Amino acid sequence: MVGMSVCALRSDHVRAPVLPSDRNSYRLEAFVIDDLSPSSDHPRLLLAPIRIDGLSPDKTPLRVRVSLRPGSNSDIRPGDAVSLFAILNPPPAPLIPGGYDFARTAWFQGIGGVGFVPGEIHKTDIKSASWRLNLVLAVNRLRGNLTRAIHESVAPVFTEGSTLGGFAAALVTGQQTYIPDAFVDTMRDSGLAHILSISGVHMAIVGGAVFFALRYALTLWPWLALRVPIKKLAAALSIIAILIYLALSGAPAPAVRSAVVAIVAFAAILCDRRALSLHSLAIAALVVMLLTPEAVIQPGFQMSFAATAALLALAEVHQAPIREIHVPWWVRTIQSSIEGLWLSLKVSIVATAATTPFAIAYFNRFSVYGLFSNLFEAPITAVVMPTLAAGTILSATPAGAFFLRIAACGLWLIGKIAAIVSSIPGAVLTWPAAPAYVLAMSFLGVVWVCLVRGYGRWLGLVPALAILWWPRLPASDVWIDPTGGNAAIHTGGQAYVLRPKVKLYGFEQWSQRYGLKTDPSGRDRTYDCSGYACTPLPDADLRIGFWFSNRPPSAIALDTLCLNSDLVVLRSPLADWPDTCQGVNHVSSGDFRRLGAMELTRTAGTWTIKAAQPLRGHRPWSEPSEAEAEDQ
């Protein structure tokens, strides 16, 4: 009951206007809040609209996200006031039934519209009357300046300097503006993509480095060390350092979760409790759920807390080996190196095992050699992060550039590790989706292994591994885009898309979910596609005709589709169906408004439809369609 109340209060608290769906061309004035570029190849900006032509202030969205043409308006920075013309729409619905719902994420981020800017963005001179917006603009302006400073300090020194500078900046500020797509793909295939987004690893390293450095430095002042509990003082100052780092990172959801965990750990030190324990983790999870209850269904929340719980369980059972007191230094060095390597291997295995069920369930892919890449990357990152912190703090001095370039050397090594691992044949394994309840089984199995002590804990391995051995979902025969702009056919374990250059992301999600291989020549063998029409050939396994234009087809085109099809899918509205279409099943624009993305399966001559909109339910971010609104 409490959880439901928290969710309802949170949904109402973040409620903000969303753009209407009956219009998409807007001229607006806005402030640039942040640079959301996933890479330098796809520039995106987060805007805070001040005025949108045709919309009253109470209908104006709080935030708008726009994509830019590559290379356009490189002088636009966070904090700038701009005027622009944009093509904007409400946040999109899932591209496949049961898939990722960006509209839900956008709702909790206050984003009421997304789109692209076909032309140029012009700076203007407008002022904001909101002190909160001015504070956000000031912080993000600092982040943007810091990102450029780090990039410019590293870029001229190395052959791959632009990428390394962007890599270094991403670890400090969270902005990936200067990182190319190819590098992001390499990091993802090697299992190291988590480094690019600020999360638990970064918070742990920064917080831990600050804590131990401060504690050591305070011991050098005997007067203070004898009169003040320096451990608690170092913990309090570490909390401040984490909050500053969180602000510099732009406070994305993963960073907020990680900051809460770190702050709870240091608060435990202030209260004379164990900092690293499952109790502290439970408190941190409870705090996160109270602040942002929507995080519970996000992969990042589930993966980070599962990995942390598994590592804490490992810490409880791990016992340091007994050593002899008097041994030569070189023997102790060898022993410590072997023990450290063995501990790092166990940590990598445990963290990978705890997060694998979620990676397979949500992303349908698994980095086969991610264990080894993380094993070699972890000690390098442990050195890089404090060095980056020192370089950032001292960025106004020559010493700052020195530390940043040392950090860049470590990032170069991480990049080489990622390149080597991702180039190994079979580095990425695609894993078809299992039923949704299987992830819950695997999660409970992981929790059992982490919480139960003794040999009985290993009984949890059976459900924990259910994500691997449970039967996969049967693949549907047809996927249709939520707006009817594209479709794909599945036959014999292979899939082909009917419009190879339009709206492909949904097709990629669908084929990846069911583990389907792409057949580039499948369309030409089974369909005659001309203009906006795709008509099945006589030897096609599925006799489905498609019309992909928003305008109704001509009478001849419609007759051709109906005469050659058992099912006709029209993106456009149609008032009257001709006699040639009698007895032919059909899907048209009204069905897309009501159902959204669809998967069709033919069984014994009957079509079964699985649609995205009914699975979303009636939520604040999924407004009733026009057809549903008429019935209410």
pLDDT per position as a tens digit, 367-383: 888 888 988 888 888 88
Structure-block tokens of residue 280? 């502290």
Look over the chain and give the mean of its residue pLDDT values, rounded to a whole number. 87
Does residue 175 sit in the same domain as residue 125? no
Q: Is residue 208 domain-resident?
A: yes
In this structure, the answer to whether residues 62 and 120 fall within a common structural domain is yes
Q: What residues make up the domain containing 499? A: 478-631
Distance between CA atoms of residues 83 and 60, nearest Å: 15
In this structure, is residue 438 part of a structural domain?
Answer: no
pLDDT in tens, 380-405: 888 888 888 888 888 778 888 889 98
Higher pLDDT, 2 or 519: 519
Domain boundary, last residue among 129, 150, 179: 129
Average pLDDT rounded to a whole number, residues 600-622? 88
Does 271 share its domain with 347?
Answer: yes
Reported confidence tier of residue 498, pLDDT bands at 50, 70, 90: very high
- What is the number of domains present in the chain? 3
Over its C-alpha atoms, the chain yields an Rg (Å, rounded) of 27
- Residue 39 is predicted with a pLDDT of 67
117, 74 Cβ separation under 8 angstroms: no
**pLDDT for position 475:** 92
Q: What is the pLDDT of residue 573?
A: 87
Q: Does one domain contain both 411 and 529?
A: no
Mean pLDDT of 183-191: 91
Q: Residue 460 falls within a domain, yes or no?
A: no
pLDDT for position 625 = 36
In a domain, 461, yes or no: no
Highest-confidence range of 127-131, 331-335, 479-483, 573-577, by mean pLDDT? 479-483
pLDDT confidence bin for 198, thresholds 50/70/90: confident
DSSP letters of 38-66? SSTTS-EEEEEEEEETT--GGGS-SEEEE
Q: For residue 304, what pLDDT band results from cuts at 50, 70 and 90?
A: confident
- The reply to whether 101 and 181 lie within a common domain is no
Please determine, for residue 626, whether its predicted confidence score (pLDDT) is greater than 50.
Answer: no
Residue 476 has pLDDT above 90, yes or no: yes
Q: Would you report the helix, strand and coil content of the chain in percent, each value rounded to 5?
A: 55, 15, 30
Judge whether residue 630 has pLDDT over 60: no
Same domain as 489, residue 349: no
pLDDT recorded at residue 96: 94
Statement to judge: residues 124 and 180 lie in one domain: no
Reported pTM: 0.85
Q: What is the DSSP string of 326-349?
A: S--HHHHHHHHHHHHHHHHHHHHH
Shared domain for 182 and 118, answered yes or no, is no
Q: What is the pLDDT of residue 629?
A: 42
Instruction: Give me the pLDDT at residue 627, please.
Output: 33
The residue among 129, 158, 182 that closes a domain is 129
Q: Specify the higher pLDDT residue, 382 or 561.
A: 561
The C-alpha atoms of residue 161 and residue 177 are separated, in whole angstroms, by 14
Q: What angle do CA 589, 595, 597 make, to 5 degrees?
A: 90
What's the mean pLDDT in 60-69?
92
Residue 631 is predicted with a pLDDT of: 40
- Integer Cα distance of 245 and 172 in angstroms: 8
- How far from 2 is each of 87, 288, 301, CA to CA, in Å? 41, 14, 20
The CATH number for 85's domain is: 2.40.50
User: Residue 259's pLDDT is what?
Assistant: 85
